[in-house]
Structure 1
């Protein structure tokens, strides 16, 4: 189960899950988003940061064992749309 929090002032959305210290639920979420936008996952850094090609929102997904799942929303993307998209996705996983 996932819980999506409203973006903070840095435009980060924290997504809480049952096992935040393990990357498995991050992988499930990232693959579900990929399938939703019909894109391809690509790494954008060596520190578990990913984007999905064909994503009109341009979200950056990241995971680490300290913060768990976070999604960075670009300044050009509407926060409401990003939040609601992720919330709907998480409710359907």
Structure 2
């Protein structure tokens, strides 16, 4: 199993496929993630800096890139004090 929590959000959209490829290569069966969520890639200013943090639909990125993956479970968590959303997802390699 490979898991990420607040990791993928710091990978540039230009490099994300290379990272997803390596995560997919390293896992035997499951990929679990907990990341910031948005329907589309959205850049977020991070501690006063640009080009360091993005949110998107990371489980969809995996599923679009690797047809051998299936979504086991996904749950979104809306923040109480604003419109931000986190997503937790579990993917499995089909046998």
TM-score by length of 1: 0.31
Q: Which has the larger radius of gyration?
A: 2
- The structure that is helix-richer by fraction is 1
Higher relative contact order (CA 8 A, sep 6+): 1
Which structure has the highest strand share of the two?
A: 2
